Amino acid sequence: MRAPDSRASRRLSRWIPAIAAPIAIGVAVVLVPMQANAAVDLPDLTPAELLEFAASSDVEALSGTIEQRSELGLPDLSGLTGAMGGGGTVGAESDDFGHGGEGGASATDLDDLISLATGAHTARVYLDDSNARLQVLDRLAERDVYLSDEGAWLYDSAERAATHVTVDEAALDAFEAEAEAHADEARQRLEAELGTPLPTPEQVLDDALAKLDETTEVSVGTDGRVAGREVYELVLEPRDTDTLVGDITVAIDGETGVALAASVTARGADEPAFSVAFTDVSFEAPDASVFEFTPPEGTEVTEHVVPIPTVAELEQWQAAAGSADDAGAGMPRPIVHGEGWSAVVELPVGAAGAAGLGAEASAMLETLTEPVDGGRILSTSLVTVLLTDDGRVLAGAVPPDRLLAVASGN
């Protein structure tokens, strides 16, 4: 087993929200993620200073409970999803991870997605150097993700199924060493051509803030408390009026720089459409036992080994993909219309695979969407999705009129 290092810890800590999102879109019920408190008076920081403080956070151990609430304005589909029977794949065999196979969608998958967007979820998070665990607490069941240098376990107690994901460590080390060597060569060539050193981290931050300022008003709000801890409030407000997003607020721990809460409020709304926050948190190292996992008796275990390419193989694949695109073949790439908060992403014909949906999935789709000229549209308080009759899918944090205009080429 490889000895834990800070690089692995940072990688795992960044994975926590990435893991939480697909499993629980953040995770359970928070009415007010941050409570403004006049008694809290942290040292004043500018937006740039607060962002730099958060970016420099070096916390490697914590544990706590995360709760989340989504109020996206979706209809109640409990009757429809329950009528599907909660199982089976619609139109295809399932893959190694228990999801719908190519060309089909699982009724359970769709049920889960709706539940995540409208239901309540609670999760426990544990982090200690190179070990991490996310424990999503369902009703009478739980789902767990365990991460370590030795790989990852994904466990679903309701399904009595576990997936063990491993990586060829020797191949990964070789790839990282080769990639770093290529990066050093590129840096030397760039410095030789420019005759000046590369930007410092401070310069990178300044450039990023300058670009952010063009599209977003960044400010520091009122100090408050989250999970009993004093926090700063970072507020991001889009300057673009053609977006559904009103503002995003992030509560940043005043001592450690860790983000403890976040919320997204739709334009013109008083309450957040999405909020996620720690309700309790500790920065002490969790007990080592919480990171140990042995599949319970009767669990169906799937082994999945992640292949690691060499840099040369990766470059060959990229070149082949480019050639396929030039020839008009291969998987269609997403098209981005516009930029910033009002950008619209379009999946070309054939990229979404909507034609593989079975009767149950199609019924749910019709319930979620409304007919419009040229297709069907799904509207929520933060995101709009357009499915055109010719097979395209367009999505963005924009009003329906914006999607319809883009779809028609206006």
pLDDT tens digits along 267-301: 999 989 888 889 999 999 999 999 999 999 999 99
Question: What Å distances lie between residue 163 and 30, 35, 94, 281, 391, CA to CA?
Answer: 31, 39, 14, 28, 33
Q: What is the pTM of this model?
A: 0.73
The Cα 289–Cα 159 span in angstroms is 23
pLDDT value for 198: 52
pLDDT value for 204: 63
Looking at the chain, the number of H-run helices and the number of E-run strands are 9, 22
End-to-end CA gap in the chain: 57
User: What domains, with CATH codes, occur in the chain?
Assistant: 6-291 (2.50.20.10), 332-407 (3.30.310)
Question: What Å distances lie between residue 233 and 66, 124, 224, 272, 379, CA to CA?
Answer: 18, 23, 7, 15, 29
The amino acid sitting at 172 is L
The parts of the chain modelled with pLDDT lower than 50 are: 1-32, 78-107, 327, 353-356
The Cα 58–Cα 80 span in angstroms is 46
Half-sphere exposure of 189 (CA within 13 A, CB side): 6
* 3-state class (DSSP) for residue 190: helix
Count the neighbouring beta carbons within 10 Å of the beta carbon of residue 316. 12
Count the neighbouring beta carbons within 10 Å of the beta carbon of residue 114. 20
DSSP symbols for 8-34: HHHHHHHHHHHHHHHHHTT-S--S-SS
pLDDT value for 212: 73
Q: Is there a contact between 394 and 384 (Cβ–Cβ < 8 Å)?
A: no
